[in-house]
Amino acid sequence: MNKIILTILIISVFVSCKNKLPSNIESAVRSCELEYKIHRKSDSIILNHTTEEIDKMPLDTITKLIGDLEFHKNNEEGVEKELEELLKINPEYSDYDEVKNMKKSYYDDNFLKCSKIEMYLNDKQFELMKKQYEK
């Protein structure tokens, strides 16, 4: 019985002594994950559109979709760079579970499909703008 209590006590001491990330790095990790989540929603809206649906969209809608994509990509890149800079300054924290197991960008998982739809949206936007200016 004493061995069990001693074992539990030792395990609880080790668990409670687990090092935590500094608040600035933890905040950067959370910002990345939040930005990935927001970008995922934006991408899922775009990924659900077929080329036929895009062909029926007005220029304003296509322009808004492209703008949203760029906005979210830029925000995502910004928070990723911030985290990278913090980890360059403090490389010892890059091995922590919170950093290693951080959620990844949705865009990376669906790169080809997102790229195809983005290119199609850009082509369609150009085509509509060209028609508009030719009138």
Whole-angstrom Cα distance, residue 83 to residue 63? 30
Buried b (16+ CB within 10 A) or exposed e, 59-98: eeebeebbebbeebbeebeebbebbeebbeeeeebeebee
pLDDT top residue among 62 and 105? 62
Check if the beta carbon of residue 110 is closer than 8 Å to that of residue 43.
Answer: yes
Amino acid letter for position 87: L
Q: Taking the domains of the chain in order of start, what are their residue ranges?
A: 23-134
Residue 135 exposed, middle or buried by CB count within 10 Å (0-12, 13-18, 19+): exposed
- Please tell me the least confidently modeled range out of 33-37, 50-54, 105-109, 123-127: 105-109
Single-letter amino acid code for the residue at 55 = D
Residues sharing a CB contact under 8 Å with residue 45, sequence separation 6 or more, in sequence order: 65
pLDDT score recorded for residue 89? 87
Mean pLDDT, range 2-10, rounded to an integer:
61
- 16 pLDDT higher than 60: no
Share of the chain above pLDDT 90, in %: 8
Query: The pTM is what?
Result: 0.67
